Amino acid sequence: MAYNSSSYTTGMDRTARSEEVCLKFPPKVTSPGLAALLVQKDKLGKFMDYSGPRLHFQMVVIFVFTQIIHSLLKLLGVPLFISQLLAGILMGPVIVSDEHSLVTISEDSVAVLGSLGALGFMFFMFLSGVKMDLRLTLKSGKLAIAIGLFSVLVPLIFWLMTVKTFHPGGNVFSNKIFHLAITYSGTSFPVIHSLLSELKILNSELGRLGLSAALIGDMVTLVLTMFSVWVNTGIQKGSKDVLFDVGLAMLYVCILVFVLRPGMKWMVKRTPEAGQIKDTCFYIIILAFMISPRFTELFRVYFLYGPFIFGLAVPDGPPLGSALVEKLDPVVSGMFMPIFATTCGMRFDLSYFKYTTKYAYHQAVGAVVTLIIKFGVSLLLPLLCKMPTRDSFALAFIMVSKGIVEIGSYSIMNDSRIISEDIFAHLTIVIIIVASVVPIAVKKLYDPSKKYLCFQKRTVMNSKFNQELRMIGCVHVPGNVNSIINLLNASCPTRECPIALDILHLVKLSGQATPLFIAHHKQQKASSNKSYSDNVVVAFKQFERDNLGAVSVNFFTAVSPSNLMYEDTCNLAMDRLTSFIILPFHRRWYSDGSIESEDQTLRSLNFDILERAPCSVGILVEGRRNIKGSNSKDTLSPSNSSSYAIAVIFLGGEDDREALALAKRFSQDESVSLTIIHLKAVDSLEFFLDEDERMLDKEMLKDINASVPLTYIEEHVKDGPETSTFLRSIVKDYQLIIVGRRYRSEDAITLGLEEWCEFREIGIIGDLLSSSDFVGNFSLLIVQQQPKRTG
């Protein structure tokens, strides 16, 4: 057994001291097995001598501690990052002594765990660069540019002036002072992106503004950090060395931009459309990333930003950027980063507060004062631009957010002896307070759902009959295009009853950090080279030409996280004064009742829109396909028949009245045959019905009978099974059936059916008609009238 001893002096400590560390060679990695260890004394000690099992054990302890703490703090709105940091503090010297700590058993124990966390942090910085699209900085508004720029520069200048006051003879551009000042005043795009994602306001108006400002601020912070390194080099070595370092850094950037990026674009061009990047290309990128820290050292680039700048050179989005994010992000965010955050917390020790130096106190005060100035600048600028006060305060809190990037920087500076342990302890406390308060404050100040509290009725019923009906059609997959076109063809739009259709193509955000919203009619050129919606635009342009004068179509593309797509849909409905939104159902069937495709994410999105929509909503359930795997057209297609048989199943209530109003608009053409099937409870069960609702139903039925030719069928039923039996006998005669959602409106007619309801979003009758028991190639439209909300 060989031993290697080394000593070092901690010059940043209160008193210089020498410590000796002994490491065993060769290191023990894999244990001989549990059975062999059980026969030895001090089983846990022997077990912990092996780095492999010890690392696994430490990871389990970290995740258990983190989940226990987060289960308590998440009710207060505290982010997961704080739970990870607190878990590290509890596992460090604050609570557990070195002799009994689970993670400080030996120096090599800390080295292995810390190295794993540091590797994760490098991956995190790399992926943050991959997700960022610098082209968006050119399209940022004036307010975002002003906030991003001045929220960094003004606090930085103020603090440097304050430092000059505290230390008249000191050099404010020394590596320590200037670099710390930048971390106080700087803006971290990954931290703000994580905050907005956790609060689910990433693609809200405030979230988009905050992201744009953070992108600008992060670029300014990066430049200032590089500048601080060069200035410190100039102070220590002279101007010639500075120019040499700047030249090497520029060469590094040029190699990335003019050599590596074109190479990666060549890989992308060789990838088939909608295909996946080859594994070989993926491994080449990972290999280049792994050796990038060595290259950053050679090119005199600040090592923390080396992987980040390399990530910026990777083409964002599919197929390369999205492949990197999809394959690496679960491991990095789910395993590496919790370990890194926890190891940062392990460095924290309350005992250093007993011996706080004057310099450390000044730095702590400086951090707080700089954040206050940054908050003030971020608040003043939007207020001057007439932004609402609550939104301005929320934006100011977002811009001062601190998180994993800052604590990682301080940990690296602490390990490098740039800052002392007492400064690190003070700054850790500042980050914990800021990172805990900011999400709670933003959540209290900003609620994007309040803007959907529309007191104006935006329904089909309230739309004037001789004016255009404003509708939104949501498209997720190519099959949705034909479904919407077939439905609108069935409505037979005319110049007297025109339709203003907004097509919203919803694309999942993949491999990017910033959501996009593209209004195709407002720009000749898209904001990126990606053709998200070309095929969708072509199909609906042809539909518009086929119905010239009766239909006008505008196109929008929203690239967003799947769980936030409702924001784009509802925002567009608000801006365009929409009366009706068409949503595709999440499941499609073959004619034999087997499932063709299913998307639970789409189902969750439909629920979110139903709850928040500022207008009426319809969920379109496609008719079953006749041939398995075929692309046969829907029975609503004009080529299938010269007339359309539409039925409205009417039970009563506001949703059913909205369904009648929609059917009234659809039946203006002679080729449309409309049937109203009015299901009524037998006399003995009439007590289920509300008198006011019954009067409104009678008025609506009277109006539609007087307006359009139709067939009226009235059927008395006593319960749900009888309703099911009757509907099963008639549905095969129609091509489109329209029903009201009637959520939570069980009465005598549907008695006994609710317990069998599988899809609550389409109501009891809608779920019944979509079940495999109902034979027929009909499409189904479930209608919900604009929800009533109070402020």
Give SS3 for 508: strand
pLDDT exceeds 90 at position 384 = yes
d(CA 115, CA 643): 71
Q: Is the pTM value of this prediction over 0.85?
A: no
pLDDT exceeds 60 at position 38 = no
Q: Which residues pair with 556 in a beta bridge?
A: 504, 519
Distance set, CA 749 to CA 678, 715, 736 (Å) = 11, 11, 22
Give me the helices (H) in 260-357, please.
261-269, 279-298, 306-313, 320-331, 337-346
Label residue 526 by pLDDT band (50, 70, 90): very low
Q: Which residues pair with 618 in a beta bridge?
A: 582, 783
- Of the candidates 324, 407, 314, the one whose C-alpha atom is nearest the C-alpha of residue 117 is 407
What is the radius of gyration, based on Cα positions, of the chain? Answer: 32
Higher pLDDT, 193 or 239: 193
d(CA 59, CA 88): 11
Q: CA end-to-end span of the chain, whole Å?
A: 74
pLDDT exceeds 50 at position 55 = yes
Highest mean pLDDT among 635-649, 675-689, 720-734: 720-734
Mean per-residue pLDDT for 281-287? 88
Give SS3 for 513: coil
Place of tokens 């998200």: 532
Least-confidence region, from 264-273, 381-390, 776-785: 264-273
pLDDT exceeds 90 at position 16 = no
d(CA 656, CA 675): 14
pLDDT at 319: 81
Report whether the peptide linkage leading into residue 26 is cis, meaning its omega lies within 30 degrees of zero.
Answer: yes
d(CA 247, CA 121): 27
- What's the half-sphere exposure (Cβ side, CA atoms, 13 Å) at 79? 31
Mean per-residue pLDDT for 332-339? 90
Mean per-residue pLDDT for 763-776? 84
Give the relative orientation of helices 142-166 and 205-237 as an angle to the nearest 10 degrees. Answer: 40
Mean per-residue pLDDT for 724-745? 86
Mean per-residue pLDDT for 416-430? 87
Least-confidence region, from 18-27, 451-460, 569-578, 638-647: 18-27
pLDDT exceeds 70 at position 744 = no
d(CA 3, CA 25): 6
**Could you please report the per-residue DSSP string of 515-553?**
-EEEEGGG-SS-SSS--SSHHHHHHHHHHHHHTTTTEEE
d(CA 634, CA 636): 5
pLDDT at 390: 92
Least-confidence region, from 4-8, 18-22, 592-596, 749-753: 4-8
| Tokens, residue 48 | 């912990």
Pairing mode of beta strands 587-589, 595-598: antiparallel
pLDDT at 96: 55
Higher pLDDT, 416 or 356: 416
| Tokens, residue 132 | 């960022």
pLDDT at 528: 45
What element of type H or E holds 8? strand 2-9
Please name the amino acid found at residue 113. L
Q: Are 584 and 480 in contact (CB under 8 A)?
A: yes
Strand segments, DSSP code E, in 719-758 are 736-740
pLDDT exceeds 50 at position 632 = no
532-561, pLDDT tens digit by residue?
677 888 889 998 898 888 899 999 999 999
Q: Which residues pair with 21 in a beta bridge?
A: 6
pLDDT at 374: 94
pLDDT exceeds 50 at position 527 = no
Q: Are 296 and 303 in contact (CB under 8 A)?
A: yes
pLDDT exceeds 60 at position 630 = no
The distance of Cα 278 from the centroid of its chain, to the nearest Å, equals 27
pLDDT at 214: 92
Q: Are 20 and 5 in contact (CB under 8 A)?
A: yes
Least-confidence region, from 169-183, 350-364, 476-490, 658-672: 169-183
pLDDT at 536: 85
pLDDT at 400: 93
pLDDT at 629: 43
Higher pLDDT, 321 or 50: 321
pLDDT at 616: 93
Q: Are 76 and 102 in contact (CB under 8 A)?
A: no
d(CA 770, CA 361): 68
pLDDT over 70 for what percent of the chain? 82
d(CA 427, CA 491): 64
pLDDT at 168: 61
pLDDT at 4: 43
CA dihedral in degrees (89, 118, 406, 75; nearest 10)?
-50
- Of the candidates 705, 703, 726, the one whose C-alpha atom is nearest the C-alpha of residue 715 is 726
Domain architecture of the chain: domains with CATH: 85-448 (1.20.1530.20), 460-522+533-615 (3.40.50.620), 643-790 (3.40.50.620)
pLDDT exceeds 90 at position 191 = yes
**Could you please report the per-residue DSSP string of 579-614?**
SEEEEE-SEEEBTTS-EEEE-HHHHHHHHHHHHH-S
d(CA 599, CA 147): 40
The distance of Cα 11 from the centroid of its chain, to the nearest Å, equals 45
Least-confidence region, from 23-37, 48-62, 256-270: 23-37
pLDDT at 265: 87
Give SS3 for 165: helix
d(CA 715, CA 165): 88
Least-confidence region, from 127-131, 182-186, 357-361: 357-361
Give me the helices (H) in 385-470, please.
389-399, 404-415, 421-445
Mean per-residue pLDDT for 586-604? 83
pLDDT at 47: 58
pLDDT at 7: 39
- What's the half-sphere exposure (Cβ side, CA atoms, 13 Å) at 370? 31
pLDDT at 6: 40
pLDDT at 627: 43
| Tokens, residue 637 | 């297609």
Q: Are 667 and 639 in contact (CB under 8 A)?
A: no
Mean per-residue pLDDT for 420-427? 87
pLDDT exceeds 70 at position 244 = yes
24-33, long-range: CB < 8 A, 24+ apart: 24/108, 25/1, 26/2, 27/51, 27/108
Please name the amino acid found at residue 14. R
Distance set, CA 408 to CA 132, 340, 626 (Å) = 20, 8, 59
Q: Are 394 and 441 in contact (CB under 8 A)?
A: yes
pLDDT at 605: 94
pLDDT at 19: 53
pLDDT at 15: 40
Longest dimension (CA), the chain: 100
pLDDT at 780: 92
**Could you please report the per-residue DSSP string of 72-135?**
HHGGGT--HHHHHHHHHHHHTTTTS-TTT-SS-SSHHHHHHHHHHHHHHHHHHHHHHHHH--GG
- Of the candidates 334, 290, 288, the one whose C-alpha atom is nearest the C-alpha of residue 119 is 290
Least-confidence region, from 128-132, 268-272, 480-484, 766-770: 268-272
Q: What is the mean pLDDT of the chain?
A: 81
